[in-house]
C-alpha cells in the first residue's frame, strides 16, 4: 500500500536527513492549537519514536476538548508541565516547529515568566538547531531547515510526506492523526485548498483504517453544552455590511458559558452559510481589553494580507490578527443582530 504521492509533496532531502540523523527532539506547535497542529505533531512524534528517537511535545495551551480523541494526545506537555517533570531544554538537540514558523507563535512572546520558555529563548538565541514544517503564507525566514509550503492544504500533508520518506511504517494512530490534521484545515474537504492531492492522501489514510464518519463526529459534532450556548450568543451578535459579516465574542460571554478561546474554533465561518457573504470576521475580546480578529474569505480575497496589516497573518482564506484596539473602542460593544 504505497502509492506515489505527487511531486509537490517531496520533502527537502536535508529535512529528512536532519530528522533521521538527530536523536532528541522538542516538537512544538502554535498557541491555541488546532487539529492540524496537534495531529501533525503526534504523527511526527510517533514516527520518530518508532526509529528509537526521543521526542517531547510542547504546547503553550492544553489540547482543546474536541481533540482529546486523538491517539497519543496525552503526550503533549505545557511549558509548566515540562518544568515540573524536571526536564531541561539543554537535553534536546533539535526543535521542530510544526504548523507555525516563528518562535512567537509557539508562545515564546508571552509576558509570563515560565522557566522552560526562558530556557528555550536562550537556546534559540544560542543557535539551537531548528526545523520548520509549515504551510502558512506569512513567514519570515526563521529556522535552520525550513519546509514552508503555502500551497499545501495542511501541515499534516507535509508531515505525512516526510514520514513516508523516512521509511516509517504508517500505523493506524499515525493515519488518524494525519487525517484529522487534513479535515481540520480543509473544513472536512470543503475549502478552496482541497485539491486532488488532499484526496489522494486521504484515500491512503482510509486504507490504513481511518473512519471518516468517526473522525467527523469527534472533531466537528462534539460541542459541550457551554460551547453551543456560546455559539448561539456569537450568532446573536452578527452584523452584516454588504458581503462582509462581523460577529463578536466578549470575555463576559466566555464567563457566562464557562468556555474559553479554543471553544470559538470555526465560529468565524458560520456566516459563510449565507450566499452573498465573501468575508467573515470574528472579533474576540481578550482579558487585557484588546481584541483579536479572525478572518475568513471565499475565492480570491486574500485576508492574510489584511491580517498582516495588524501584525498577524495566515492563509489566503483564513488568517488572524495580533491583538488590536483597546476596550471602549467600538469593536467590543455588543452589536444588534441584523
In the complex, which residues of this chain contact Mn ion (CB under 5 A)?
36, 99, 155, 185
CB of 276 to Mn ion, least distance (A): 28
CB of 40 to Mn ion, least distance (A): 8
Measured from each CB, the residue nearest to Mn ion is 36
Provide the CB-side half-sphere exposure for 74 (13 A, CA): 0
Beta strand pairing status for 76-77 and 54-58? parallel
Beta carbon nearer to Mn ion, 94 or 184: 184
Beta carbon nearer to Mn ion, 154 or 253: 154
> Using an 8 Å Cβ cutoff, are 221 and 232 in contact?
no
Beta carbon nearer to Mn ion, 8 or 88: 8
Beta carbon nearer to Mn ion, 134 or 285: 134
CB of 324 to Mn ion, least distance (A): 22
Q: List phi, psi (to 5°) of 260.
A: -140, 175
Scored b (16 or more CB within 10 A) or e, 194-212 reads beebbebbbebbeebebee
CB of 62 to Mn ion, least distance (A): 19
Beta carbon nearer to Mn ion, 131 or 253: 131
Scored b (16 or more CB within 10 A) or e, 40-59 reads bbbbbbbbbeeeebebbbbb
Beta carbon nearer to Mn ion, 180 or 237: 180
Nearest to 79 by CA among 29, 35, 131: 29
Scored b (16 or more CB within 10 A) or e, 119-149 reads bbeebbeeebbbbbbbbbbbbeebbebbbbb
CB of 61 to Mn ion, least distance (A): 16
d(CA 184, CA 178): 10
CB of 271 to Mn ion, least distance (A): 22
Beta carbon nearer to Mn ion, 46 or 99: 99
CB of 36 to Mn ion, least distance (A): 3
Sheet holding 318-320, edge to edge: 239-241, 244-249, 279-285, 291-297, 318-320, 313-314
CB of 185 to Mn ion, least distance (A): 5
Sheet holding 76-77, edge to edge: 76-77, 54-58, 24-29, 94-98, 129-134, 145-148
Beta carbon nearer to Mn ion, 36 or 285: 36
Amino acid at each position: 500500500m504505497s502509492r506515489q504521492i505527487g511531486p509537490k509533496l517531496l520533502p527537502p532531502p536535508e529535512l529528512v536527513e536532519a530528522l533521521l540523523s538527530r536523536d532528541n527532539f522538542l516538537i512544538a506547535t502554535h498557541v491555541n492549537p488546532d487539529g492540524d497542529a496537534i495531529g501533525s505533531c503526534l504523527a511526527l512524534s510517533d514516527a520518530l519514536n518508532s526509529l528509537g528517537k526521543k521526542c517531547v511535545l510542547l504546547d503553550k495551551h492544553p489540547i482543546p476538548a474536541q481533540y482529546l480523541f486523538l491517539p497519543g494526545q496525552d503526550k503533549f506537555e505545557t511549558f509548566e508541565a515540562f518544568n515540573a517533570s524536571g526536564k531541561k531544554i539543554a537535553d534536546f538537540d533539535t526543535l521542530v516547529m510544526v504548523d507555525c514558523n516563528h518562535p512567537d507563535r509557539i508562545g515564546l512572546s508571552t509576558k509570563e515568566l515560565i522557566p522552560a520558555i526562558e530556557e528555550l529563548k536562550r537556546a534559540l538565541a544560542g543557535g539551537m538547531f531548528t526545523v520548520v514544517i509549515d504551510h502558512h503564507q506569512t513567514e519570515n525566514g526563521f529556522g535552520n531547515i525550513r519546509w514552508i509550503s503555502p500551497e499545501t492544504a495542511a501541515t499534516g500533508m507535509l508531515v505525512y510526506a516526510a514520514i513516508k520518506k523516512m521509511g516509517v511504517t504508517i500505523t493506524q494512530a499515525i493515519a488518524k492523526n494525519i487525517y484529522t490534521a487534513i479535515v481540520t484545515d480543509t473544513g472536512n474537504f470543503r475549502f478552496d485548498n482541497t485539491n486532488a492531492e488532499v484526496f489522494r492522501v486521504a484515500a491512503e489514510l482510509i486504507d490504513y483504517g481511518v473512519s471518516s464518519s468517526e473522525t467527523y463526529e469527534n472533531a466537528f459534532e462534539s460541542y459541550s453544552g457551554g460551547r453551543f450556548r456560546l455559539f448561539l450568543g456569537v450568532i446573536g451578535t452578527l452584523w452584516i455590511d454588504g458581503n462582509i459579516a462581523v460577529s463578536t465574542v466578549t470575555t463576559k460571554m466566555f464567563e457566562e458559558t464557562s468556555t474559553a478561546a479554543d471553544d470559538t474554533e470555526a465560529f468565524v465561518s458560520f456566516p459563510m452559510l449565507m450566499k452573498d457573504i465573501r468575508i467573515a470576521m470574528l472579533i474576540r475580546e481578550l482579558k487585557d481589553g484588546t481584541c483579536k480578529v479572525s478572518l475568513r474569505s471565499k475565492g480570491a480575497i486574500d485576508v492574510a494580507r489584511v491580517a498582516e496589516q495588524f501584525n498577524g497573518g495566515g492563509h489566503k482564506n483564513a488568517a488572524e490578527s495580533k491583538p488590536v484596539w483597546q476596550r471602549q473602542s467600538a469593536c467590543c460593544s455588543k452589536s444588534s443582530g441584523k
